[in-house]
Structure 1
Amino acid sequence: MMISATEAAASRVQAFLSKRGKGIGLRLGVKTTGCSGLAYKLEFVDSSNSDDEMFESNGIKIFVDQKSLKYLDGTVLDYTKEGLQEGFKFTNPNVKDECGCGESFTV
């Protein structure tokens, strides 16, 4: 099992944590929603949970709960800026289909 972050994503997470003034990393998970079934969720982590799997990549810690891990194995978190659009991008090898708006996916 593996989750990783690009240098751009890691740099952005470190900047957010620094500005926030606390936190040990980022939690990546999935939630049931949208027209395709699953959507990504991101949140800062101040302390890990007992069921978390922790991955270190480019100097940041990424925490994933056991339920989400099966949907996220192999995912690479990136941060992109294209014109006025910027944000985190997920490259997930488990995705079989995405909704038209790009907010949700199926595995």
Structure 2
Amino acid sequence: MINISDSASDKLKEMLAEQEIPGMFLRLGVQAGGCSGFSYAMGFDDAETEDDVYMDVNDLKVVVDKESLRLIDGLEIDFEESGMSGGFTMNNPNATATCGCGASFRTALDAGKPAPEEC
């Protein structure tokens, strides 16, 4: 399951409305890379595959591919506005290490593998 705070879902709904494309939804995933091993992927999409898992979170359609879900199950997404900037934050209970910027992570499944280059 993925958890999205009220502030994050409000911001995502606002961003989705700006897309003006019917059927768009939030796609979450993981990509190999980043200074800690995996990087989060978050964007809008309008096509699902048979490898996807669908969730309804705070009235948002969220789609995650099955391979990524095992690494981000329980992920908490928040959004904070700070002065003239703001951003989404990810709190992943599966992460055993994260980089300083919080954009990439490692899990216990990666134990024993060499650490990627530093940020």
- Same fold by TM-score, threshold 0.5 exceeded? yes
Rg larger in structure: 2
Question: Which residue type is aligned with residue 51 of structure 1?
Answer: D
Q: Is this contact kept in 2: 1:38–1:104, CA < 8 A?
A: yes
Instruction: Normalising by structure 2, report the TM-score.
Output: 0.82
Instruction: Normalising by structure 1, report the TM-score.
Output: 0.90
Match of 1:18 in 2: 17
Q: Is this contact kept in 1: 2:75–2:90, CA < 8 A?
A: yes
The CA deviation at 1:95 is: 0.8
Once superposed, which parts of structure 1, at least 4 consecutive aligned residues long, lie more than 4 Å away? none
Question: Which residue type is aligned with residue 2 of structure 2?
Answer: I
How many residue pairs are counted as aligned between the two chains? 106
> Structure 2 stretches of 5 or more lacking a match?
108-119
Match of 2:58 in 1: 58
Report the RMSD for the aligned CA atoms in angstroms. 1.3
Question: What secondary structure, in the 3-state scheme, does the structure 1 residue paired with 2:101 have?
Answer: coil
Structure 1 Cα separation of the partners of residues 19 and 104 of structure 2 = 28
Structure 2 Cα separation of the partners of residues 85 and 19 of structure 1 = 19
Match of 1:88 in 2: 88
